Amino acid sequence: MSIEFDDPRQNAGRRPDLRLIITPQPKAERAREPVTRSRGEVRGGVPSTKINRSIAWESQNEQKACYHFEFSPVVKAYREQPQTFYLPAPKGMFRYTPDFELRLRNGEICYVEVKPLAKLFLPKVLERLKAAHRFLTDEGYHFIVLTDEELNFPNRIRNFSILRPYLRFQIPPHISEQAKAWVEQATDPTLEALSRFLGFRSTAFALIAQLHIGFDFDQPLDNTSPLFTSTIGDHHETCFFTYRTGPDFKQCAVPSNPHA
C-alpha cells in the first residue's frame, strides 16, 4: 500500500491529487468547544514524539488534529504555523499562515488548515482557501482542510490520549514478533490477556500505540478490548484521518476496507 497519485503522464503541468490510505471512519460527533472566559479561546500544547517538543494548538480541533498526526504513520514530522504566505485575491493581496505543515514519509510537504465546518463555506473563508489551494499547489505542495467532521471522534481521541506516552517505548523486534504470533493463535485475544502473556500492561499499550498489534481505535480501550494482527503497522503511508481538498473542499472518499 502506498500514497497514490494521478498518472503524471496524464496530468503534466498540475499538482497530483493527494490520496492517503485512510483507516475506517465512523460518523463524527458534534461537540461544543469550551472557551476561556478571558479571551474566548482554547490554547494548549501536545507533546510530540515525532519532533521531540510540544506542539502548540489554539482550538480543540487543532489539538485533535495533532493527535491524528502523531498516530498516522504517513506523517513523518509536523509543525504548527510554519510560515506566512502572501497570496493574490480579487480584492488584493492577503497574508495567510497555515495551521500546520506535514512532512510525509515519501518526502512530500502538505499544508493543513483546521477550520470549523460551520465556517468552511462562508464566502470570504472559501475564497481565501481557494486562493491558498491555487498558490500552494502551483508551488508544488499539497493543501488540505480538516474540520470537526474529520476530527471529532471521542473514543478515538480518548484512546490517543491514553496511548500517546507509549509511542516513545522501544519495543525489541522479538517481543513484537512473539506478541503477533500469540494474537494469531489465541482464541480470545484481548488487552488483558495480552498483558498477562507479556507480563507488562505497558508493553501491550506500546504494541497497540505503535500499531504492531491491531485494535479498533474507535471503540473504548479497556481490558476486554479485542485485538487482532495489525496490517497498518506494516504500511508507513497509512493515515488515521480523512480530509478535504480544493477546489471545492468536499470530504475525500473513504475506502470501505483499508485493512485489505
pLDDT in tens, 134-152: 999 999 999 999 999 999 9
CATH value at residue 127: 3.40.1350.10
Contact 126, 249 (CB under 8 A): yes
> Nearest to residue 155, comparing CAs of 215, 221, 206, 210?
221
pTM exceeds 0.85, yes or no: no
Contact 179, 213 (CB under 8 A): yes
Would residue 258 count as lying in a domain?
no
Cell 470530504, located at residue: 251
pLDDT at 79: 96
Query: pLDDT tens for residues 97-113?
Result: 999 999 999 999 999 99
Whether residues 126 and 146 share a domain: the answer is yes
Whether residues 28 and 126 share a domain: the answer is yes
Q: Pairing relation of β-strands 238-239 and 21-22?
A: parallel
Domain that holds residue 24: 8-155+237-251
The CA radius of gyration of the chain, in Å to the nearest whole number, is 20
Q: Which three cell numbers stand for residue 213?
A: 498489534
Would residue 162 count as lying in a domain?
no
Average pLDDT over residues 147-176: 96
Whether residues 124 and 229 share a domain: the answer is no
Total structural domains within the chain: 2
pLDDT band at 5; cut points 50, 70, 90? very low
- DSSP output for 220-248: --STT-B-EE-SGGG-TTEES---EETTT
Whether residues 123 and 230 share a domain: the answer is no
pLDDT at 89: 82
pLDDT at 251: 85
CA distance 102 to 9: 26
Whether residues 82 and 143 share a domain: the answer is yes
Whether residues 49 and 114 share a domain: the answer is yes
Would residue 161 count as lying in a domain?
no
